[in-house]
Structures are given as structure tokens and as C-alpha cells.
Structure 1
Amino acid sequence: MTEKMAGKFYKRVLLAVIMMISLMITGCAGMEVSTGADKSVTSGQRSGSDLKVHFIDVGQGDSALIEKDGHYMLIDAGERDQGQTVVSYLKNQGVETLDYVIGTHPHSDHIGGLETVIRAFPVEKIIMPQKAHTTKLYEHLLDTIEEKKLKITLPEPGAVYELGGASFQILGPDRDYGDDLNNWSVGIRLDYGSNSFVLCGDAEKGAEEDMMANGLSLKADVLKLSHHGSSTSSSGQFLDRVNPEYAVISCGKNNDYGHPHKETLEALKKRNIKAFRTDQSGTIVAVSDGSKVTFPGQNIKDENVSHTENEKNASQTGEYVINTNTKKFHLPDCSLAASIKADNKKISEETRDELIQMGYEPCKSCKP
């Protein structure tokens, strides 16, 4: 190892040690907690342009650009390979500076592209949860934040921030969720006039219960479904509390997880919530004039809440051949299944989705 490489290695080790010690003692060295001057979202708005919320199509991931009166906020940026896609989209929208960047939680399909974004634009404030992660991608993001001499603001439920003539309030995370990264997701309610939007990353039912219990308003016209429409999120109680007219689902076409799940789509249909999906419509833009929300260029059709073959397969129960060594599962007649060694071969009756949640991947040949 050269002297230069060794120096870089020890610098990374020192940075990781400092961050872990800071998380245990002070809540994170170099991070600041913003409490917000007011614990309630103000409704007084200045005159100006409409509020626009862009749900950017980043495949199987999340990214949303919010703009009001020439001020911009970005929430997540998809996987690392989507970073340039997000940068190009922001530049096409006239973004020169980002007032806020929110990295909802450390999963790669949310923060993967943020390093590219932060290198491309001046950023005034970064909001991320107090949850360290050990992936190189997360470490690179922290390195970039340090290089840009930025500080991380911890999300405090109830804190309110202004974005031009709009404002947003932090809804969560409410407590320490251990290694359950999804529930660490930063949740916000965005307000402009009488319209509201709720976006909560990948928050699952446990975090939703905490948000319902913390006394903050969840009512919104538009709900960005958490965890890409997974059945692990968007409980019936949470949907009823938010009571949205519209739902937006950010997910990849024919994704391996069966997102959005059939149960979630049925829950939306039962409540007459109109749904838009990036896997069907690409990037989706919602526009609020302060009194009503519209989706220019989008048509709401029955297929927005229909079940694709991928969704059906995700919920089907049947026999799958699993390889305990490679952590892949196959259809019984798959040629690759026949070649699995007896010691590693098992027959499973779990659903496709249950196998994925157990850490198995579908075979790319037979596509179970």
C-alpha cells in the first residue's frame, strides 16, 4: 500500500470512528439539530408562482423535486446510476441552487444519486436521519458532504421550514428504529395555501403508527406512497388519517419486488384514491395553485390500480426451488433448478414476495 493510499485509508477509518462515537455521545459530530421557530405549519402564503412537485422517474427508487417561487428542494435521488439523470432533470427545470436536500434514509435506491447531485449544485441545507450505515456508498456521500463543508441537520418532528411561499414540517422519524432503515425515513408534510402533500420515504407501518401518535397533522391532498407501494407500508389506518385524493407510487417497471403490491392497490381502490405510477407514466408532476392540485398531462385510468403480471406473481403461493447457496429461487421446470446440488436445494411454498423479503432473488432466466 502506497503512503498516499494508506493515508486515505486511515482517514476513512478515523472518519467512521468519529461518526460512530458522535452518534453515541452527542447525536453526531458536525450535525446540527434545527428545531424550527414554530411548531405549527403556517398557512399565510406570499403571492407568486404555483407550487410544483416533480416525482422523478428513477426506476426502482425515489426522487422528488419541489419548487416554489424560484426555491428548490430535492428529496432523494434514486440509485447511484440515476444521479446524472436527476442532475439533468434539475438543470432542465432551471435549478441553480438547492435550498434543501433530504436524504430520507441510507438505502441506495434513495441516497445513491445524492453524491452526484451535491457535486453539481450549491446546497444550503442537508437533512438526514441520525442513522449511520456502513456501505461505501453512504461513506462516499458523507465524504462529499464534508468536502463541500456542509453540515447535516437532523430531522426533528414538528420543525418547520420555508420554501418560497410554501412550507414543510418534519413528521418523522420519531424514535430509534435500530437497524430497521426504512423506518428511519424522514417524513414531511408540504403545505401551500389549502393544499398539502405527505412524503415519507420508505416508512413502514411501525413508523406510520408513530407519526399518527405524535399529534402532527397528516391530512393531505397527495400522498407519495412509502416503500414504492409495498404492503409493508400504507396501512389502512394511515391512509384514512392522511385521507388523500391522490396517491403517487414511485417504482420501476417490472421490478423484482412486485411493487406496488396488490394489497396496497386494493386499499387505494377501496378508498377511491386516484393513483399515478412512475412505472406507467414516467415522471409525474403535481401542480398546486394553493386551492387545488392538478396533474397536467396525466390521465387517471383504471389501469392505475390494476394488477400487472408482476404484481400477481409477487402474491402467488406456489412451489419454488430455492438455492440456499446462491440465495436465488427458480420455477420448478427451470433448467438451472435441475443443476442445484442436493445439499443446497430446497422446495419452498412461500410467496414470491415473502422469498424476496427473506433475502432471495428471482432467477433471471425463468423469471419466477
Structure 2
Amino acid sequence: MKKILRLLAAVLAPVLLLSGCQLPEDAAALNPRTNSSTASEATASAAALQKKASIWYFDVGQGDSELLQLPDGKTVLIDSGTSESAKGLVKLLKGLNISKLDIVIATHPHADHIGGMLQVLRNFEIGQYVMPRVADDDVPTTKLYTNLLKEMKKKKITATQAKAGLTLLNESGCSITLLAPKKAQYTKLNNYSAVAMVTIGAKKFLFTGDAEKESEQEMVKSGVSLHADVLKCGHHGSKTSTTTAFLKAVSPTAAVISCGRGNDYGFPAPQTLSHLKSAGVKIYRTDEQKTICAQTDGKTISFETGLASATHT
């Protein structure tokens, strides 16, 4: 019986991917904690949603790439994985009938987050491109980064500077606001990461790039609401991210960790997994469950796992 179920899963996974993550009727819905002070506003926003939103956490190996398909048809790509997974990522995006990305957020210029961006720029129309301004001393000198800047110039793409407080979208019951970076310079490139709070109806999704303890502390101390129903853990579940104070402030019901199977870094860190489990957070991992898709109507959230990867592993 188990063998039959595995075969069915292998057959159905590509179908689910191409159909926009249409989840079964009995898919388990999450019941995240809601801030009572904003409940009436959230209910009004949720009522405005006519279609479900799909939030994809692509399996790109040891890297990060997420896609938002919003109810009004807008698409938002957050990071693009590695250069090795670039062709696979483009294939997945085209399989979802995407020709234009309304917003692209490159959280920070590390190869495991922008490795596929060159192929993304060459294959899709780009609306707004968002990236942090990195201090001169920290600007990468890699061929990858240099070629990416050349392609942006060729396509006449002007980058919007990622910084805390910037609202990228606020319409049709959905909003995207950046919570970081808050400073002009950091000692670690990871802390330049653009951190995005995505609100869809009454539900919130937090994307943290590779933000580590320093950036997390700044966000906590700022007093801005960090609560999210789903947290994309920073830095692939490293022990340098998802700190106790930050996790408490976010108070998620579910967390997604994007990392490669058998990676050389030991991600996710045992202590990160322990913190999440102690907090009663449901954990999803791309190294174990491949591509993960969350769907929300603004009131509930359901997950589908085991979907097609951008890698060959």
C-alpha cells in the first residue's frame, strides 16, 4: 500500500505544481494566533479576497527562492536560489504560466540567493526590482554579481533600495512591507537582508532572507509588530538566526526552512529546530519535503508538500 501511495504522489506532484497548488478539500488548515486589536481590520481585508493566494517555497537545494501568486494575479519573487538551480527555477515559473514578475526582491547579494537571478531577468518581464544598498566595502566582487548588474543595465532595470518601512504593495486586501534592513552598514552581508512582511487578508507571512541576530534584535527593539502566521526562517535555519526573542515576537504557527539535502553546513541547526518545537511551531523543510506550497484565502492557511524541485536531487 505504501508503495502505491508513493507512486501516486510522484505522479500527482507535477500536476499540482502546474495547476497552481490546488489543495484537496480536506487539507489541514492552520489556526494561527491573531492580534485582537487588528481583528476587525483583518476581517475586512479577508472579505475582499475573491481568490486564494499561493505562496511557494521552492526547493532550490542549498539556497532560497519563494514566489507569491496573489489573488489579483500579481506575482512576487523573493530570491532566486543558486546558479545550479537556475534553469529548474525558470522551468517551474514558466510551468505556472508566469511571463511577468511584478516585484522581484533580491534579499542580499549572496550566490545562494541571487544565483538564478540572471536567468530570471533574461526570461521574464520585471516590474519592480528591489535590493539592499550595500556599503562600498561590502559590495561583492564576484563574476555572478557583476554580470547581474550588467544585465540590469542592459534591461534598463533601476533597483529600488530595500530598507525598513518601505511599502511595496498595498491593494486588494494584500500588502508587502519591508521591516529590514534598518541601518546603512553591517559587519555581515547577511544582515543587509531585506525582510518582508506579507499580509494577505488576515494572514501574515514573514520572509527574512539570511537576517541574523543583529538584524533580528533591531526589528524586535523597533517595536514594530513582527507577528506572522508563517515564518521563513533566516539563514536556512542556522543557529545565528531565529533567536529566542525574535521567535517570541513573531509567534508563528508554522515555519519553513529552505536548505539543501545533506548540505555541508549542518543546516538546519539542532538548536533552531529545538526552539521551534518548544514553541509548538509546525516545521516544514525543503530538504525533506521538496517544494512547499501554502494557500490562503486570507482566513485559513493550508500546505501541500512534495512538489517538483528546481534541482535534480
SS at 2:103's partner residue? Answer: strand
Q: 1:136 to 1:144 in 2, by over 3 A?
A: same
Q: Does 1:130 align with 2:133?
A: yes
| Larger Rg over CA atoms | 1
The superposition leaves residues 313-344 of structure 1 with CA deviations (integer Å, 9 ceiling, x where unpaired) of: xxxxxxxxxxxxxxxxxxxxxxxxxxxxxxxx
The question of whether the paired residues in 1 share the 8 Å contact of 2:176 and 2:197 is answered with yes
Match of 1:56 in 2: 58
Q: 1:148 to 1:80 in 2, by over 3 A?
A: same
Q: Unmatched 5+ residue regions in structure 2?
A: 1-37, 307-313
- Output the amino acid matched with 2:51: S
> Which residue of the other structure, out of 279, 284, 287, is the alignment partner of 1:271?
279
The superposition leaves residues 249-297 of structure 1 with CA deviations (integer Å, 9 ceiling, x where unpaired) of: 0000010000000000000111110000000000000111101111035
Q: Unmatched 5+ residue regions in structure 1?
A: 1-39, 299-368
Alpha-carbon offset, residue 164 of structure 1: 6.1
SS at 1:91's partner residue? Answer: helix
The question of whether the paired residues in 1 share the 8 Å contact of 2:163 and 2:194 is answered with no
SS at 1:154's partner residue? Answer: strand
Task: Give me the whole-angstrom Cα distance separating, in 2, the residues matched to 1:161 and 1:47.
Answer: 19
- Output the amino acid matched with 1:96: S
Task: Give me the whole-angstrom Cα distance separating, in 1, the residues matched to 2:149 and 2:221.
Answer: 32
Task: Give me the whole-angstrom Cα distance separating, in 2, the residues matched to 1:87 and 1:242.
Answer: 32
Match of 1:214 in 2: 222
> Which residue of the other structure, out of 172, 184, 209, is the alignment partner of 2:192?
184
- Output the amino acid matched with 1:78: G
SS at 2:153's partner residue? Answer: helix
Alpha-carbon offset, residue 158 of structure 1: 1.5
Task: Give me the whole-angstrom Cα distance separating, in 1, the residues matched to 2:206 and 2:119.
Answer: 26
Task: Give me the whole-angstrom Cα distance separating, in 2, the residues matched to 1:178 and 1:206.
Answer: 9
| Mapping of residues 231-270 of structure 1, within 5 Å | 231-270=239-278
Match of 1:103 in 2: 106
TM-score (structure 1 length as normaliser)? 0.68
SS at 2:85's partner residue? Answer: helix
Task: Give me the whole-angstrom Cα distance separating, in 1, the residues matched to 2:98 and 2:280.
Answer: 35
Alpha-carbon offset, residue 94 of structure 1: 1.5
Alpha-carbon offset, residue 197 of structure 1: 0.5
Match of 1:338 in 2: none
TM-score (structure 2 length as normaliser)? 0.79
> Which residue of the other structure, out of 135, 138, 146, is the alignment partner of 2:153?
146
Task: Give me the whole-angstrom Cα distance separating, in 1, the residues matched to 2:220 and 2:299.
Answer: 25
Q: 1:231 to 1:242 in 2, by over 3 A?
A: same
The question of whether the paired residues in 2 share the 8 Å contact of 1:72 and 1:163 is answered with no
- Output the amino acid matched with 2:164: P
Alpha-carbon offset, residue 83 of structure 1: 1.2
- Output the amino acid matched with 2:93: L
Alpha-carbon offset, residue 177 of structure 1: 3.4
- Output the amino acid matched with 1:77: S
Q: Does 1 or 2 have the higher relative contact order (CA < 8 Å, sep 6+)?
A: 2
Match of 1:66 in 2: 68
Q: Does 1:77 align with 2:75?
A: no
Q: 1:293 to 1:155 in 2, by over 3 A?
A: same
- Output the amino acid matched with 2:157: L
> Which residue of the other structure, out of 163, 184, 189, is the alignment partner of 1:156?
163
The question of whether the paired residues in 2 share the 8 Å contact of 1:220 and 1:244 is answered with yes
- Output the amino acid matched with 1:243: S
Task: Give me the whole-angstrom Cα distance separating, in 1, the residues matched to 2:160 and 2:126.
Answer: 12
SS at 1:213's partner residue? Answer: helix
The question of whether the paired residues in 2 share the 8 Å contact of 1:84 and 1:117 is answered with no
Task: Give me the whole-angstrom Cα distance separating, in 2, the residues matched to 1:253 and 1:149.
Answer: 37
Alpha-carbon offset, residue 157 of structure 1: 1.2
SS at 1:233's partner residue? Answer: coil
SS at 1:171's partner residue? Answer: strand
The question of whether the paired residues in 2 share the 8 Å contact of 1:71 and 1:163 is answered with no
Alpha-carbon offset, residue 145 of structure 1: 0.7
In angstroms, what is the RMSD of aligned CA positions? 1.6
The question of whether the paired residues in 2 share the 8 Å contact of 1:71 and 1:164 is answered with no
- Output the amino acid matched with 1:129: P
Displaced runs of 4+ in structure 1, greater than 4 A? none
